A and B are shown apart, each in its own frame.
Chain A
Amino acid sequence: MGVCSVIRTFLHLSIKPKTEARRCVRLLQKIKTEHATPQLYTTLHRRACSTVSTPRITTHYTIHPRDKDPRWEGVEMERFADEADVVIVGGGPAGLAAAIRLKQLANKHEKELRVCVVEKAPQIGAHTLSGACLEPSALTELIPDWKERGAPLNTPVTEDVFSILTEKYRIPVPMMPGLPMQNHGNYIVRMGNLVRWLGEQAEEVGVELYPGYAAAEVLFHEDGSVKGIATNDVGIAKDGSPKDIFERGMELHAKVTLFGEGCHGHLAKQLYKKFNLRENCEPQTYAIGLKELWMIDEKKWRPGRVEHSVGWPLDRNTYGGSFLYHLNEGEPLVALGFVVGLDYTNPYLSPFREFQRWKHHPFVAPTLEGGQRIAYGARALNEGGFQSIPKLTFPGGLLIGCSPGFMNVPKIKGTHTAMKSGMLAAEAIFPKLTAETLDSETAGLHVPEYAENLKNSWVWKELYAVRNIRPSFHNYFGLYGGMIYTGIFYWIFRGKEPWTLKHCGTDANQLKPAKECTPIEYPKPDGKISFDLLSSVALSGTNHEGDQPPHLTLKDDSIPVARNLGIYDGPEQRFCPAGVYEYVPLDTGDGMRLQINAQNCVHCKTCDIKDPSQNINWVVPEGGGGPAYNGM
């Protein structure tokens, strides 16, 4: 009886702020171990994490541990383990650059080094999405004869156009040399193809690549240093129970593990907490980039042309802009897209629909008329720059690439710095790995030299020079204030001003409650230039094994309806570029529930970043699932 009244009281309070719900859960977890039978467990737990009418959404074992779950009793949980010298999580530009550099050094000094790269995409490059205008500096340092080896850098930039758009007109902005957006000497690339080529180069030098296997867990030694990673388990049903074909993932142990998961990696998120890597830096800020590939009319094709714009359809206080690049690979292909800073305040904003709307602008639409859209995708990108770089090394591992975040925001380029960080990591690790005695206090190697080398490299200088440009947008004049600041302090003074501006806090905290904002009227897609969300998602080729726990886990199943919908009108149904989140009416008719269509997910990570309640935790699904980008 006492238990029931306690439950009732806490249920009453569970609609209120998170702390009440958490206390409620903790209390019920205590009760459950005394009284639980399987059915009661689920009912009690459901009631603990929700009001009476919230159906259970999250079944993933990271939220509902398996050691307390009676359905997992007796299931063999031993994992096969293997040893490598270095394990790299993520087969993107940074991870592959690090792997290639390590093997180059090993081959040069005739040392044996086992380098394994695990990558969640089914093939290298399938989860890669970028504009992209590549600065070839890092690639030339890594593989000087990239041209002879057939690297897919086929489109040197010939024209650079920058505009401020209004609803009907365009204000041209001259691209003077020295401005960060100037692209002379750069190449327009299909980043997925470049990454695939890097994968082939890596295999040639002896790197072991394992696409289709996602790193799901970080393993630790007794002394707390990183031991390696474990790949995802397979064969778990949607409700969290084991299937007949259940198999544990594999453990890959390494002397040092490099984490190159890209922007907002899920393992990196855990590492920040565990090793307190973010205590002396600002929180990372992000943007979402949506991209499409179009086959256009040959008459409109101008290979090598780079177009950027800011302004319409975003208001001056929402950071963002567009890109449109004419590729030169034999067919009239353009890559175009839209970036929206995730510190936007209006919960009614939908980055996808802003993108579709922008395509109708009189300066953009003519290029696309008569063309055919052949690909779509989206990914979050870093905007924090210099101020948000965390501590990069910890016992047993280091962070490389966009995971800690080395993107040069005004240039909108992060690949060259990501690759350089991977190479510097390899160069710092190599002597330690091949030294006569393994000189380390911890079982996992600690390589602080990597951070030192990075600070002395051009990456640091470049990021320092542009550090104030993005934060300068946080002023009354928004976009225009930022452009004036850039013109004065970057173009003239080269970023040498003695102060460092701060960001505004985390992106998740920037949303204003829905009642303080006006809904945005978006035009309907016309099916020729602009399209609806679901047909776009189909073009990304994304798919996941249907019968697995949704990998978009909620720490508390009741918060979406109570808080996200109640206060912010469910922003996740608007910022997700793949239609994963939907608020649908309950079967009983009164009230709504959150439906998570996990199969649509394109692994962009925006929900994990922008959720105002920070309740969504993206974890990696079964390896091989996700988008099937082809040269995006």
Chain B
Amino acid sequence: MSGRVLVGVKRVIDYAVKIRVKPDNTGVVTDGVKHSMNPFCEIAVEEAVKLKEKKLIKEVVAVSCGPQQSQETIRTALAMGADRGIHVDVSGKDYENLGPLQVSKILAALAKQEDAQLILLGKQAIDDDCNQTGQMTAALLDWPQGTFASEVSLEGDKINLVREIDGGLEHIKINTPAVITADLRLNTPRYATLPNIMDSLMNNETELHKPNHRTSLCVGLIPLFETVAPEDMQGGTDRSGAMLRHTVLQSGKPKRIILSCLCI
């Protein structure tokens, strides 16, 4: 199989940063917060680059949908070994409404435009944990999908895939073109070293695309009412035995007690 691989990379808040809800409860604070490439997207990029190094595919194109800063994420992908980058410019209100369905529509359109043979994505993003984009993209394109991949090997025009599922591992064989989403154990991503970052800065191989009305980004399909932080955890108390006894002793006759379960 030869041809082009599209890799989706998402710019998310770094996993080690402590998230804070905005005072007006409309979302989380992102201004100035450290962002980086979604860890599963890193794994997807690494897999694409590995396939290129094995000469099984010809070109790796990194795609990111988001504001201007997404270009940094694409640059990291380029530094890891991608050949080209496509930045789909989505900012402001559109960016806040950007969800898996919109992104998968964009990826489907790009896949047709770029004549991609394979789309590699991370299994989910660590900010919304949706785990939907890969599956939706495959459905829109009517392509087979290999999700939660922990091993990928190309055999002619078919792909042998090992999937991580609840019961263990599943071995499947799917036709190309296909959508694959990467799980944790697929590989260990390489570092984006400084010489490669410098190269990607000099050569500026990122194209800018503006989404058109076909992808209908303007409408947020899922209205977001409110974002709140989870309540603080309370200490647990064992109410089962002691309270019942105490109440009986006090009143002389047993009352109807609803035993509360252990608050963990």
Contacts and interface: CB of A to CB of B under 8 A. Distances in A.
Interface string A526-544: 0000000000001101110
Contacts of A245: 188-191
Interface in B1-39: 14-18, 20, 23, 31-34, 36
A126 B13 CA distance: 14
A541 B18 contact: yes
Contact of A374 (B16, B20, B36): B20
Given A245-B188, A543-B16, A196 B193 contact: no
B194 interface: yes
Contacts of B18: 538-539, 541
Contacts of A193: 32
A628 B17 contact: yes
B156 interface: no
Contacts of A374: 20
Most buried by A among B20, B31, B194: B194
Given A192-B32, A245-B188, A295-B23, A80 B17 contact: no
Contacts of B32: 125, 192-193, 196, 630-631
Interface string B170-194: 0000000000000000001111011
A250 B195 contact: yes
Interface residues on B, range: 20 to 34
B23 A250 contact: no
B198 interface: yes
Nearest to A234: B191
Contacts of B189: 245
A14 B195 CA distance: 45
B188 A210 contact: no
A630 B34 contact: yes
B34 A541 contact: yes
Nearest to B33: A630
Nearest to B34: A628
Given A245-B190, A247-B191, A122 B36 contact: yes
Nearest to B20: A374
Contact of B194 (A250, A538, A542, A630): A250
Contacts of B191: 234-235, 245, 247
B34 A122 contact: yes
A82 interface: yes
B23 A210 contact: no
Given A192-B32, A193-B32, A244-B188, A213 B17 contact: no
A624 to B, nearest CB: 8
Interface string B103-126: 000000000000000000000000
8 contacts: A213-B197, A234-B191, A249-B194, A541-B17, A628-B14, A630-B32, A630-B33, A631-B32
Interface of B: 14-18, 20, 23, 31-34, 36, 188-191, 193-195, 197-198, 201
Shortest 6 CB-CB distances between A and B: which pairs? A543-B16, A628-B34, A541-B17, A234-B191, A250-B194, A630-B32
